Amino acid sequence: MRILLKFVIDCDPDAAWRALHSPRAVAELYGPFVDLAPMAPEGLPTAFQPGDDVPVRLSALGTVPLGQQFIHMSERRVDERGGEVRIFRDSGIPLTGPLSSLDVWDHQMAVSAAPGDPGRTLWRDRLVIGGPTAPLLWPLLWSVWQWRGARIRALASTWAHDPEPAASESTAESTADDEA
């Protein structure tokens, strides 16, 4: 069974790609209702890297346990007619809780330049689930994915982290360049 999302967000593809690799940005997508906490004593990595295996604990409102999830991260790049598409894939599996009855969990998020607007990002999100309880869990996950999509659209403009130089910095740089 599949859940698909496709929309344009207000950040460039590089910022979206960085956000996909940020455990903090990913955790914000589910907030404030679902908390994502590391199970490993060293905590979450600063950035997800291909091959990472990250166990996390999920809870509702920080108090109601939802189970444990194993995140296995990989990535790939594909050239399409409109340009390069970068794909982040979580092929981990729910370990405990209601979602552990699933035996397939394949979550792929693709980012590319929005058609006609390279300063914005076309975001494509696909979750494939399988197992005997998939038909029962699909409506719940579909609802969560709609919430996630709304959060992605709301947070995307905050993902760019390259601040414009302050007026005093650019004046100091041009003065230094003039003196050189």
* The amino acid at 143: S
User: Quick one: DSSP state of residue 1?
Assistant: -
User: Quick one: DSSP state of residue 51?
Assistant: T
In a domain? residue 169:
no
Beta bridge partners of 71: 54
In a domain? residue 156:
yes
Is residue 66 within 8 A of residue 98, CB to CB? The reply is yes
Is residue 159 within 8 A of residue 167, CB to CB? The reply is no
In a domain? residue 166:
no
In a domain? residue 179:
no
In a domain? residue 87:
yes
Q: Which long-range contacts (CB under 8 A, 24 or more apart) does 150-155 make?
A: 151/28, 151/29, 151/30, 151/31, 152/7, 152/9, 152/29, 152/123, 152/125, 153/7, 153/9, 153/10, 155/19, 155/25, 155/28, 155/29
In a domain? residue 89:
yes
Beta bridge partners of 80: 83
> pTM for the full model?
0.84
Is residue 98 within 8 A of residue 60, CB to CB? The reply is no
Whichever domain contains 82, its CATH number is: 3.30.530.20
Phi, psi of 5 (to 5 degrees): -130, 145
In a domain? residue 176:
no
Number of structural domains found in the chain: 1
Q: If DSSP states are collapsed to H, E and C, what string results for 128-168?
A: EEECCCHHHHHHHHHHHHHHHHHHHHHHHHHCCCCCCCCHH
Residue range(s) defining the domain that contains residue 122: 2-160
| pLDDT, one tens digit for every residue, the chain (180 residues) | 999 999 999 999 999 999 999 998 988 888 788 888 999 999 999 999 999 999 999 998 888 998 999 999 999 999 988 889 999 999 999 999 999 999 999 999 999 999 999 999 999 999 999 999 999 999 999 999 999 999 999 999 999 865 555 554 544 444 445 555
